[in-house]
Amino acid sequence: MSTDRKHIQFDEFLQEAPTIFDEVETSGEEVVVEWHGKLFSIRPKRGSKQRSRKHFNPDDSLFGLIGVGASGIQDVSAQKHKYLADAIAESGNGSGR
């Protein structure tokens, strides 16, 4: 299949699908396939931009929040589920599960 071909019939597309997909991926250009008088476009899907996974570092502004509003409770890490459940129960937003 030549790379300048943009519009093909469905039967031809079926015969050459692997080659067409390779060329669409390589060139980034769409191919139009005609089937029963209707046109369908095949083009590479644009990749979604993923957030880079950055780890915290000592300069991160979130570290400035450590210790703000200290409760005086020392075992929060060990009792986090209990404290969370208590807070939900006190707020009245418990789901009753």
> Which tens digits make up the pLDDT trace of 39-72?
999 888 877 666 666 677 777 877 777 777 767 7
Report which of residues 80 and 63 the model is more confident about: 80
Q: Which two tokens stand for residue 37?
A: 């008088």
Torsion, Cα of 60, 62, 68, 72 (10° steps): -100
Residue 1: pLDDT above 50?
no
Is residue 1 within 8 Å of residue 16, measured between CB atoms?
A: yes
pTM exceeding the 0.75 threshold for the entire prediction: no
In the chain, where the domains are located: 7-42
Report which of residues 52 and 73 the model is more confident about: 73
| Mean pLDDT, the chain, integer | 80
Is residue 76 within 8 Å of residue 83, measured between CB atoms?
A: yes
